[in-house]
Structure 1
């Protein structure tokens, strides 16, 4: 067996976070392969091998999925609209409005090949640790195993979110033909990987290894995994697919919600030790590299290791003629944010409608750029009167590079980066943050009738965001509150599409509907706003899409596997 290592550059110290190497470099010559002796009999190279595997965490950074150019899955939902209608910048719009684009021949939402390549490399590493590694004490070996199984669990988490039933490989095998495992077994396999990682990973690493996965990250991902499995058990109930290997037995919903709650409690214990916390200033979370909300994140550093988020999502005058304006917020998201006193915003309320962006909760002002927003020394004008940043009708231009909803996405943008073309972007991407863990806990506890525990987690988050306690009292009311909080708290972080899928609401919320924006017009000293469509055709989400088909080329090469029924 030969282990393959990708060339690592100093700026890409690890994809999970930039390793502070204290003067030690991990630059290596661009060699194609390393022998077993070079890797497993040298502890330094063993470390480099697993660091190379961290690249997988960059695949879905900032909520994107590898379709088109930086297309975000939130744009498949009711909270974001991509401005372009052409393949590439607007592939996500094509998929959102045409369910037939998903087929075994071209699933579009396809991670199968890349995911299994990564799984094989990780299984090679695990086998090498067991049979060839030298110079490692048992504790260090277990940490390496824990890291590898964390990454493998992460890869499988994405595969199972997509397909439900996939092929499980816990070790290297030459077997070419293998059938899919049941969805229930898949979720348990993922949970076992994260549970192992949680047992053997440290709470923190020393300064030379900052950014590697930790016990808190493993428990957080374990909580997320059990929440998904429990959701399928509760909401799917074999209503949408007759495949014998998809779905999770309904009877397992409560045990799995309980598991999610217990894993979240472990993260909360670590927060109690001072490792994690919520930030009082919501806007600062996403530009503060040292935020305690981050449980696991990818860090970037100029000039070697950057990204292009600002160029992709900033309003046009940040770099005239160069900003791309991929995705913009919808009215459906804007309307969801509460008033600062916790009351529900409504356009039917004359006072609120007269000044719709005044006295809104802090998350609104940190997430949305609206007509009248102060931004980088100017006032944003999204009315048609502004030829550069004003609203345009979706479809009037194939790639307008300006808002089609009357809003721009503010979350993640760096307000201090005034030269986004030259500087590019270096904001961190948080794969997992403490707010999500509290929302997982609130949801799970509401399902097991721990009303007090659910309210405690939910109110901890709301109070930190400057909002009063939730008025919810029953499990059903708490669940509605959790759905609302996830929609606004986690906006643009890549959760909404997958939430609607696991709650089995996507075929209701995302089907046969057009989403909207708001077009402003001057009215004396103020503005009036009319609702406009951001879609020129109805959205489509058919129940079959809850299980994306296995790619046809895998069906053709694997004589044992069967296609998911319905495809």
Structure 2
């Protein structure tokens, strides 16, 4: 296979022995001579720096990131062509004795190595002070980020600020969980320390792309504080009796509105830092490529994710590339190529996601007074006026007509058109057609395909091979930060003008009218945006649409405390075994999901609880 990969400086392993770690309690550097050697010279210290980076989660890997397949955005039919762990969570099979996709051990190992680095970097003799300062800031960020990853999944956690000395007693290593507010304050403080000494941008793009910058640190702080201000962690009475081993509360049950003000301020600081180095929402502009206005909009949406190191991406994770992800997303698109069979096409968006996107007027399909919501499953035939989105003369569901540009940019379906650098392809997914089921798996379980995650330079070669532009996973885009700011402003101050400024910038890139224009002109609830509660619903749906299929929905539903509502619904798709359109376009239940209140947080492993008597289990487990 022909795989294009640009130069990346991050390495996942090092050429030296590092102390082993059996659990998070093993925070004692037990191989002192090796550590001293690791920090004798700059070259060796750099290897240890990259070791600290190597723990970054593989968020572009659907088998490693629960936010892809452990929620309700995608579905597959068993037997899966990938590991089953995400589906076990999605189907409600998680337990304290059988924990799926746990990061407890790996993140604490990362924290130990970060502390070793911070304790020893000053010993290096052949490094200038300014470089030590920068490296130290990078590792402080990583230390904060690993705590953040743990917090988002487990809630209150032990804080590993320093590695314990070798002489520590068994009692001293019994580290308890700290309160949620204490954890947030600690992470935020580390991010502030890191941001002060990080570069504003990467100037040596040939060797340093992927290294942490000041905008990255500030953006992650914004995400942290918005999460801390959200209903899951801010005044959640479900956790009012959750206590540590000593009786102290792990969650504050009293709602604190000032958390939203702090979150809004953090978002604005991060936005300003991004703007200062030229970041902006991505727009497609390829020299030598002549496209219609509609296609330019589609490519602006798609490439904001798939074009590596573009001006909108705040942070590309170089540890996690997307070769396999794209193969799961890509159907057998080109029927003229034998290598079609190398495409899996099994990362299937659910019918719920197809119905999430707005109409062409920029409002939800069940609110638009000009759109026939009741008859959305009936058949319609595409005309020449719709040929940039739909196959002319082809019958498909009315649901697929007159939708917003992000719908056509993100999702493909039976009757869709799929633009790629080497041509435009028609998707035909009913039984017996090119994109339909051909084997045991490797087909769409719902009749939908994830166009958004496939780079437009993906090429099925004449022989048995693929050429895939494998981009590093975008951990955070500027559009995400804009919408976090709009959310925080609305929660803190209501529908003020600046709230609309940022949400409307995201909508403008998607070729949609402003919130005010769309709701006033087309919604059955024209005044919805004028109240905090109404605008909250609008902002949340805007996030779910703009960041669809990027791993955001999974965490957003949890922090908003909407996962219980959304993840106890039926998973629906089309009846893909049918060849006749009248039978194919019948919604079919694939699974009835089960989500319990306890599922908002991961359980702690029973062996960790036995090994540390000061740990307490998460509620419900």
Q: The TM-score by the shorter chain falls in which range? A: 0.7 to 0.9
Aligned residue in 2 for 1:77: 71
Alignment equivalent of 2:452, drawn from 407, 411, 426: 411
Q: 1:348 aligns with which of 364, 373, 391?
A: 373
Do residues 539 (structure 1) and 593 (structure 2) align?
yes
Task: Say if 2:242 and 2:251, in contact at 8 Å, map to a contact too.
Answer: no
Alignment of 1:153-552 (within 5 A): 153-174=144-165, 175-207=172-204, 208-232=207-231, 237-239=236-238, 242-245=241-244, 248-249=251-252, 251=254, 253-280=256-283, 281-299=300-318, 307-317=323-333, 319-345=339-365, 348=373, 354=380, 355-375=398-418, 377-386=424-433, 388-390=434-436, 399-419=440-460, 421-450=465-494, 451-471=496-516, 472-511=529-568, 513-519=569-575, 530-536=585-591, 538-552=592-606
Question: Shift in Å at residue 534 of structure 1?
Answer: 4.4
Structure 1 residue matching 2:89: 3-state secondary structure = helix
CA distances 1:385-416 after superposition (whole Å, capped 9, x unpaired): 42x52269xxxx8x522111111111121232
> Following TM superposition, by how much is the alpha carbon of 1:374 offset from its aligned partner in structure 2, in angstroms?
2.5
Residues 226, 432 of structure 1: alpha-carbon distance in 2 compared, 3 angstrom cutoff: same
Specify the SS of the correspondent of 2:618: coil
Rounded to whole Å, the distance in 2 between the matches of 1:15 and 1:441 is 34
Partner Cα distance (1:483, 1:53) in 2: 34
| CA gap 1:234/1:362 in 2 versus in 1, 3 angstroms | same
Cα 1:85–1:467 shift into 2, 3 Å: same
Q: Secondary structure at the match of 2:573?
A: strand
- Aligned match of 1:59: 58
* Conservation of the 8 A alpha-carbon contact between 1:83 and 1:327: no
Q: 1:546–1:300: structure 2 CA closer, same or farther, 3 Å change rule? A: closer
Per the alignment, residue 141 of structure 1 pairs with 132
Residue 487 and residue 253 in structure 1: after superposition, are their counterparts in 2 closer, same or farther (change >3 A)? same
Residue 608 (structure 2) pairs with residue 562 (structure 1): no
In structure 1, what is the Cα distance between the partners aligned to 2:57 and 2:413? 30
Alignment of 1:21-100 (within 5 A): 30-32=15-17, 35-61=34-60, 64=62, 66=64, 72-86=66-80, 88-97=82-91, 99=92
2:9–2:209: 8 Å Cα contact kept in structure 1? Answer: no
Partner deviation per Cα, 1:8-65 (whole Å, 9 max, x = no partner): x99652179xxxxxxxxxx98x444583444323233323321332223342225x46
Which structure has the greater CA radius of gyration?
A: 2
Question: Aligned partners of 2:605, 2:487: CA distance in 1, in Å?
Answer: 33
Corresponding position of 1:24:
none
Q: Does the CA-based 8 Å contact 2:570-2:589 persist in structure 1?
A: yes
- How far the C-alpha of 1:297 sits from its partner, in A, is 0.2
Q: Which position in structure 1 is the counterpart of 2:28?
A: none
User: Is there any run of 5+ residues in structure 1 with no aligned partner, and where?
Assistant: 1-8, 17-26
Residue 161 (structure 1) shift: 1.4
Secondary structure at the counterpart of residue 345 of structure 2: coil
Q: TM-score under structure 1 normalisation?
A: 0.84
Q: Determine if contact 1:300/1:427 at 8 Å carries over to the other structure.
A: no
Where does residue 111 of structure 1 map in the other structure? 103
- The answer to whether the Cα contact below 8 Å between 1:39 and 1:45 also exists between their aligned partners in 2 is yes
Distance apart, 1:296 and its partner CA: 0.6
SS of aligned partner of 2:238 = coil
What is the deviation of 1:136? 4.2
Q: Give the Cα–Cα distance (whole angstroms) in 2 for the partners of residues 87 and 382 of structure 1.
A: 19
Which secondary structure does the structure 1 equivalent of 2:279 belong to? Answer: coil
What SS does the aligned partner of 1:53 have? Answer: helix
Shift, 1:236, TM fit? 5.4
Query: Normalising to structure 2: TM-score of the pair?
Result: 0.77
